[in-house]
Amino acid sequence: MMTNPDSVAKRRFVQALLTGCLLFGIITGCKESAEDVSPGKGDGGGATEVGVPDGAAASKTIGAAGGTLVSADNQVTLTIPAGALSKDMEISIQPITNEAMNGLAQAYRFSPDGTTFAKPALLMFRYDPRSVSANSPDAFGVATQGTDRVWYRTPEVTVDTMTHTITTPMPHFSDWTAYELFKIESISLAGANYVELGGSVDLEMLFFDLVEPIDIPSEGKNITIEKVEFRVAGGSANGSVKAAENPAQNERGVFPARYSAPSKNPPSNPVTVVADVTLKGKKAKIQVVKQILVGKDYFRGTFADTPFDWQNLHFMRNGNDVHVGGYNDNPSQSLNILLNSIDLTAPNRTYAYQDRADKGAWAEFASNYTDEHGGWISANFDCAKKAVRVSPGGVTITQISIVNGVEYIQGRLSGTFYNLPGTCPTALRYFPIEGEFRIKNTFSSGRKPASLANFKGK
């Protein structure tokens, strides 16, 4: 995804402003208990827009006996203990757009707004490990937006990286979100969502220090970065990355580096750049990852020993069915693949061709649609055998990934496509085909990308 350098600079400025305003606001406006989270403290600096409803709300009546309410999207669970409320109350959770700095997925509005509890409620967020920069207990926080529109962190957060949940005590209702503390941004991709072969991109590993301003003691809960080391997963064949020495930026939580792509297609694509972050007083390193696409999307191969390299590509999902296609400037020449009933929790495997277009894998290569004999398909009637002849081989999905919020499919195909140039007893013609593809999702319906199983591996 293209990143505007001006927008990145603005984001860094807002980040610094927000951190400074948080410090000033906490010094001048916090309650006696540093563990209290109040929606009214702060001086208004570093404020963001207020989110707007974005999805279905969930509601339930909960009273003095306590109870649990799960958001309609199943991403948030609110548990109110017995004795927290004095009377029955209609509680609701409304997903909203997330305006928080580095907010994770959606934010949520809890109503009635301003409700407080005799005992803290428990708020749990679920997260998708494929969509975060670091799957580490030290990589997440939870924040609530005050009436001044500033986001304030909660001091006590528990992260379970096995169940992928983030939990915090909740003293009151307002707008809440989970957020990431670490992220790698690309800041010099101009006009493309990929790095050219042999090209480079400037990166920054950003530390969003919204947890504790360093000048405020907090019982050892401050996070201090001791060292950041960059590397490329999979070795030099996938490119190289070099950190830029800039102590002034490092002190502000900005760690610059430059990734250089190889001159030919890397073994892993997208490539994964890793920032190994060492925190002061911690033994384990936090692995912050960033996926970078190298080279433009492609759908290429050979049919009947003749090369094809489609320039117009598309990939879509409809429920559990996948359609991958490509064509050149003359749409009568194309290659289309249909994969039926894919298990999207484990899609990476080979799908054998079947005798019907609504089963398994089905493919068609059109050499010329204007000619009735221009279509070559993966299964066709063989007059001599008086039966449908199905191609050997199949279509292999090697990866379905989400890169910068966009879904991509990668894979390959092989086999033999058949053409029946007339009615029986005309002999069936056939040619071999091989190809490979990487294509972004041009449109989809049904399941969201977050429901797919592939993690952005290290």
Report H helices in 414-456.
none
| Strand-strand pairing, 334-339 and 321-327 | antiparallel
Are 43 and 168 members of one domain?
Answer: yes
Structural domain contains residue 6: no
Is residue 302 located within the same domain as residue 447?
A: yes
Q: Is the pLDDT of residue 164 over 90?
A: yes
Proportion of the chain above pLDDT 70, given as a percent: 81
Shortest CA distance to 11 belongs to which of 89, 94, 102? 102
C-alpha triplet 197, 202, 204: angle, nearest 5° = 135
- Determine the pLDDT at residue 404: 75
Looking at the predicted structure, is the pLDDT value of residue 33 above 50?
no
Q: Judge if 366 and 334 occupy the same domain.
A: yes
Residue finishing a domain among 148, 180, 212: 180
**Amino acid, res. 270:** P
Does 5 fall in a domain? no
Quick check: 144 and 169 in contact, CB under 8 A? no
Same domain, 380 and 433: yes
For 6-41, give one letter per residue: b (16+ CB within 10 A) or e: eebeebbeebeebbebbbebbeeebeeeeeebbbeb
Our count of domains for the chain comes to 3
Same domain assignment for residues 149 and 224:
no
Sorting pLDDT into bands at 50, 70 and 90, what band is 446? very low
SS3 25: helix
Q: Are residues 333 and 438 in the same domain?
A: yes
Query: Peptide bond preceding 129: is omega within 30 degrees of 0, i.e. cis?
Result: no
Same domain, 48 and 169: yes
Q: Looking at the domain assignment, is residue 286 inside a domain?
A: yes
2 within domain boundaries: no
Residue 420 has pLDDT above 80, yes or no: yes
Query: DSSP letters along 193-231, please?
Result: SSBPTT-EEEEEEEE---S--TTS--TT----EEEEEEE
Q: Do 161 and 190 reside in the same domain of the chain? A: no
Higher local confidence (pLDDT), 23 or 76? 76
Instruction: Mark which of 180, 207, 223 sits at the end of a domain.
Output: 180
Q: Are residues 278 and 306 in the same domain?
A: no
Instruction: Examine residue 127 and state whether it is found in any structural domain, yes or no.
Output: yes
Owning domain of residue 60: 31-180
Q: Residue 451 has which token pair?
A: 């429901």
Are 341 and 280 contained in the same domain?
no
Binned at pLDDT 50, 70 and 90, residue 456 comes out as very low
Tokens of 8: 């990145």
Whole-number pLDDT of residue 37? 45
Q: Would residue 342 count as lying in a domain?
A: yes
Q: What is the pLDDT of residues 316-339, one digit of tens each?
A: 988 899 999 998 876 568 999 999
Question: Distance (Å, rounded) from C-alpha 306 to C-alpha 433?
Answer: 9
**Domain identity same for 104 and 144:** yes
8 Å CB contact between 363 and 336: yes
Pick the closest to residue 379 from 367, 391, 368 (CA basis): 391
Supply the CATH number for residue 59's domain. 2.60.220.30
pLDDT in tens, 280-312: 888 889 999 998 999 999 999 999 999 999 989
- Tokens representing 58 are 């969930």
Distance, in Å, from the CA atom of 105 to the CA atom of 200, rounded to the nearest integer, reads 29
Q: What is the CATH number of the domain that holds 189?
A: 2.60.40
At 365, the pLDDT band (50, 70, 90 cuts) reads very high
Q: Which of 180, 203, 221 is the C-terminal boundary of a domain?
A: 180
pLDDT of residue 12: 37
Task: Look at residue 249 in the predicted model and tell me its pLDDT.
Answer: 81
Q: Give the sign of the dihedral formed by CA 405, CA 159, CA 17, CA 277.
A: negative
Three-class SS of residue 178? Answer: strand
Q: Is the model more confident about 374 or about 156?
A: 156
**Residue 10: inside a domain:** no
Percent pLDDT > 90 in the chain is: 61
Largest CA distance in the chain: 92
Q: Are residues 341 and 390 in the same domain?
A: yes
**Which phi and psi angles does 444 have, rounded to 5°?**
-150, 160
Distance from C-alpha of 271 to C-alpha of 293, rounded to nearest angstrom: 6
| Cβ 255 vs Cβ 183: under 8 Å | no
Cα angle 305, 196, 232 (rounded to 5 degrees) comes to 105
